[in-house]
Structure 1
Amino acid sequence: MTRYELQQLVQSQLYTLLTQENLDGAKALLEPVEPVDIAEAIEGLPAQMQAIAFRLLSKEEALQVYEHFRWSTQQALVEKFKRQDVIDIFGKMSPDDRVRLLDELPATVVRRLIEAISPEEREATAMLLGYPPETAGRLMTPRYVALQQTNTVAETLEQIRDFAEVSETIYYLYVIDAERHLVGILSLRELVSARPHETIAEIMKPKVISVVTETDQEEVARIMQRYDFVALPVVDKEQRLVGIITVDDALDVLQAETTEDIYTLGGLQSGKENYFNLNLFTVARRRVVWLLVLLVANTFTGTIMQTQEEVLEAVVALAFFVPLLIDTGGNVGAQSSTVVIRGLSTEEIPQKATLRVIGRELIAGAFLGGMLAAITIAWAYWLQDDLQVAIVVGISLFAISLLASLAGSGLPFLFRWLKRDPALMSAPFITTIVDVLGVSIYFMVARAILQI
């Protein structure tokens, strides 16, 4: 049974048991299930059942499950819980997860929750909230194990036993000096393999890869992916260790950023909410913006054709191939823009490779245009029995393929240079540009060859 099938089975059985008001059976059903699967099963229930199912969990398991919920579910449950229920869960959450929830709650609720937790947790939460959104400072957790250089291995192992429960991870251990400057790193494996009398300074690695609190979260995720880190230290401007970012948070960032890029490529306004949980009015409002922009842009295509009435009246057959040309050009441009935008997003394309990449796409466009033009000339001649019209279509298709490759590869670089998201040069937008310019090229070629 696949994980998806298991989750669907648990959700179905849970719904049945809750409908029958068999709370003991529902509780027994959830006991052997992993927290992330419980979270998905509860989210699949009707809204009125979610709070009931969640209250069946033990306090320890409830906290783990709650951190796996989407923020919208977390927010809905906060509003349904009794005050003490909320405080118990909220106070035990890791600071970084707590901050992400606070970002989405109303200000009055945020104030009430922060006032109710312990001074220590309040201070940790306030520190993270002080950093800009979508930065390493907002993503990190202040729960980590920091070691002194002068400690022995035996002393350090005792220290880890004391702090293992409250630390986010103990697989990487960070070494600091008296001013909390980050001076070294070692793994738990290196620590347990060392002799008890050795000092941390003797076994640590002084070279540490870290990020500052203002580093963009997407850059943080890329660094962790590049070096296969389980955790990454975060330092302030004075190189003092202030927190760590764990791999689970980095994966969430990569998923969110990839989702945003895909939505943008499709000409959609992205948001933090799950797209399929939004009401239809919100869906339409977000999608209509780009469509209106493209609608206005596409009117230029009709205007150009209107100005070329004499050409179309002289050779009616030219009108038959307009859809073929603009669709082909749009597809070529979409292919070029997709590979370039993805390359920029994953940093596969170096900063200084702009001209090389555009040149490569132009050559590819020439090859594609040449092959498609040869096929189209033969096909157009067979359809119309007019060699001149066939040549016009073939030459136009070749030129449009070059134009599409140039637009698809060049415009994302232009947007990066303007400090904008290259994904804004999405396939629909580039297709519209190529449509307008492609029709102009088509009629210019027709006038030149057919002498109209």
Structure 2
Amino acid sequence: MSHGVGASISFGDRIVKLLKEKRDIKPLLEWIKPQDFIPILERLPKDDRLSLVLSLNDDVIEKFLPKLPAEIVEEVMFGMDRNRFIRIVSNLPADELSDLVEKLSPINRKRLLWELPDWKLNEIKPLLSYPPDKVGGLMTNRIPVFFEEAEIWKVIREYVTRTKFDEYDTNNYAYAIDKNGKLKGLISIRELLTSPRKLKLKDVVQPPPVTIKPDADEEEAARIVASYDLLELPVVDDDGKLLGAVTVDDVVDVVISESTEDMVKFGGVEKITTPYIMASIFELTKKRVAWLIFLCLIEVIVAGVLSFYGKIISTIVALSFFIPLISSTGGNSGIQASIFIIRGLAVGEVSISDALRVLVKESLTSLFLSLLLSPLTFFLGFLIAKNIWVALTLSISLILIIFTVNIVGSLLPMLAAKVGIDPATISAPLIATIADLVGLLIYFTVATILLF
């Protein structure tokens, strides 16, 4: 039995070796869980990974196919017998098939939808009408839904029958609706099975603690599920009609995807949809070059600042000793502040309306930080430069730099959120570059006042 991604990669390397040696890999495949085939397939050459997929049973392929990168999905789509592929995707839960369809190129998407059975197409059409990053594109509509006036014994009988035929993607709750399809309440399956059989469903259900609209952002669904400790989150339209539910496993996927995307953005890199091991050199270059060019242009301004104060530097060379310290301390301080705010915005701890509170809190925090660091930098400055005025310049500058960059680092993500930009776009390299510019301006301005 395999254990996680690390073990999967190890298996992947062994499979590659066995394939090169033209040896039988079937004994090894028996030890691999279906979900662990994803990192394995990402590491295999194109022809080998298709051969591996074709050698697996349909029920195994169903469990990992929707989570494969788009490139591999399309390889399987065209490399596998057409009837077999359609049979496999038709057995997928509606929300997973919807996600798979969204991955495909427009022409391949149309082709797959054309070939799907009518019953499956009708099942996923409502989900495809919403963008993939919205709740409507995340939810499943194959949930246990019953008329509120139905008697418990009839509800249980229908539920058991439909479950046998695998008609539900989730089995946590049963939902009660009225004649207009409006959600009236829900009950856990365990409680349903132990309820008195002669009662009606409306007598045992409870109002949902919270619902969500299909056009809400999927991150909002993740926050609600986490806040309310839900297994499922009902999705209703503006009239209160039940459309489906977002399950906790979908939310986990959202959290992983969004946290990874935010980390990449904060590093100053555009989002990459292809796994790193499969990405081409051109694609990796394309995702990085825009930010590097932008930051390079800003650093030209920083170079201009150094050039402007060239005479001061040449007069008191010791000032140049501490430029790296000024830049890195300011940048690190600003990045720390921005991380707290970006995280707070992401998990709902901070909102745009808290800007004034953030300003006050970060002002006081930066003041305490600078008062702790300033004596240390004064001592180090005097120790290295042997000049008390240079040391004083360094310590005063650091106080002003930490204060200024902290404010910038904390308010920039909030400003981005205000204008509808993902706060994570305020990347660490951007904060560090701004800190370079602001820090040098403050440093040499203080030096001019104190030393000349």
1:372 aligns with 2:377: no
C-alpha contact (below 8 Å) 2:135/2:218 kept by paired residues: yes
SS of the equivalent of 1:132 reads coil
Does 2:187 align with 1:186?
yes
Contact 1:231 1:244 in 2 (8 A): yes
SS in 2 for 1:233: strand
Scaled by the length of structure 1, what TM-score is found? 0.93
1:356 match: 357
CA distance 1:9–1:389, shift in 2 (3 Å): closer
Mean Cα deviation higher: 279-288 or 82-91: 82-91
What is the total number of aligned residue pairs between the two structures?
449
The amino acid that maps onto 1:143 is R
Task: Report the Cα distance in structure 2 between the residues aligned to 1:180 and 1:141, rounded to whole angstroms.
Answer: 16
Contact 2:330/2:436, CA 8 A, preserved across alignment: yes
Residue 18 and residue 388 in structure 1: after superposition, are their counterparts in 2 closer, same or farther (change >3 A)? closer
Alignment of 1:223-302 (within 5 A): 223-302=224-303
Which aligned pairs between 1:18-33 and structure 2 lie closer than 5 A?
18-19=19-20, 26=26, 28-31=27-30, 33=32
Pairwise CA distance, 1:332: 0.8
- Contact 1:90/1:113 (8 A) holds in 2: no
CA distance in structure 2 between the aligned counterparts of 1:175 and 1:137, rounded to whole angstroms:
20
Instruction: Indicate if the aligned counterparts of 2:54 and 2:80 stay in contact, CA closer than 8 A.
Output: no
Q: Residue 65 and residue 268 in structure 1: after superposition, are their counterparts in 2 closer, same or farther (change >3 A)?
A: closer
Mark the runs of 5 or more structure 1 residues left unpaired by the alignment: none
| Superposition deviation, residue 15 in structure 1 | 4.3
2: CA distance between counterparts of 1:180 and 1:419?
A: 34
More deviation, 311-320/297-306: 311-320
Indicate the SS of the match to 2:234: strand
Q: Report if the CA contact (8 A) 2:231-2:248 is conserved.
A: yes
Counterpart code for 1:198: L
Partner letter of residue 269 of structure 1?
Answer: E
Structure 2: which 5+ residue stretches go unaligned?
A: none
**1:168 corresponds to which letter in structure 2?**
D
Q: Does the 8 Å CA contact 2:99/2:132 hold for their aligned counterparts?
A: no
Q: Does the 8 Å CA contact 2:144/2:174 hold for their aligned counterparts?
A: yes
Letter in 2 for 1:94: P
Partners of 2:21 and 2:440 lie apart in 1 by 65
Q: Which residue in 2 is equivalent to 1:36? A: 35
**Cα distance per residue 1:128-162 (max 9 Å; x no partner):** 22223311111112211101212222111111112
C-alpha distance after superposition, 1:41-92 (max 9, x if no partner) = 3443332122222222222232223234333322221121122222122222
Q: Does 1:106 align with 2:105?
A: yes
Query: CA offsets, 1:389-444, max 9 Å, x none?
Result: 11111111111111111111121112222222111222211111121121111111
Aligned to 1:312: 313
Matched residue of 1:161: which SS? Answer: helix
1:81-123: CA deviations, max 9, x gaps? 1222221222222222222222222333222221222111112
Q: Which residue does the alignment assign to 2:212?
A: 211
The CA distance in 2 between the partners of 1:168 and 1:318, in whole Å, is 67
Aligned residue in 2 for 1:52: 51
Aligned partners of 1:363, 1:240: CA distance in 2, in Å? 49
Is contact 2:43–2:277 with CA below 8 Å preserved after alignment?
no
Return the offset for 1:12: 4.9
Deviation string for 1:368-392 (max 9, x for gaps)?
2122221111111122221111111
Any idea what SS the aligned residue of 2:263 has? helix
- Residue of structure 1 in register with 2:426 after alignment: 425
**How far apart are the structure 1 equivalents of 2:438 and 2:17?**
59
Q: Is the 8 A contact 1:30 1:38 kept in 2?
A: no
Q: How does 1:410-421 map to 2 (within 5 A)?
A: 410-421=411-422
| Distance in 1 between residues matched to 2:96 and 2:379, nearest whole Å | 63
- What is the CA distance between 1:350 and its match in structure 2? 4.1
Residue of structure 2 in register with 1:175 after alignment: 176
- Letter matched to residue 426 of structure 2: M
> Which residue identity is paired with 2:122?
E
CA distance in 2, matches of 1:381, 1:244: 65
Q: 1:82 to 1:237 in 2, by over 3 A?
A: same
1:297-353, CA deviations, whole angstroms, 9 ceiling, x for partnerless residues?
Answer: 111111112122232233222122222111111111111111111111111124432
Equivalent-residue separation in structure 1 for 2:201 and 2:425 (angstroms): 49
Amino acid at match of 1:153: I
CA distance in 2, matches of 1:361, 1:351: 15
The secondary structure found in structure 2 opposite 1:353 is: helix
- Report the CA distance between 1:2 and its aligned residue: 4.6
In 2, Cα distance between equivalents of 1:5 and 1:427: 29
Shift of 1:16: 5.4
Q: Is the 8 A contact 1:66 1:74 kept in 2?
A: yes
Query: What TM-score comes out, normalization by structure 2 length?
Result: 0.93
- Matched with 2:134 is 135
Aligned counterparts of 2:324 and 2:49: Cα–Cα separation in 1: 51
CA distance in 2, matches of 1:76, 1:263: 27
Distance 1:283 1:43, change over 3 A: closer
Q: CA RMSD, aligned part only? A: 2.1
CA contact (8 A) 2:5 2:36 kept: no
1:233-274 deviation digits (Å, cap 9, x = unpaired): 211222111222222211111111111111111111113222
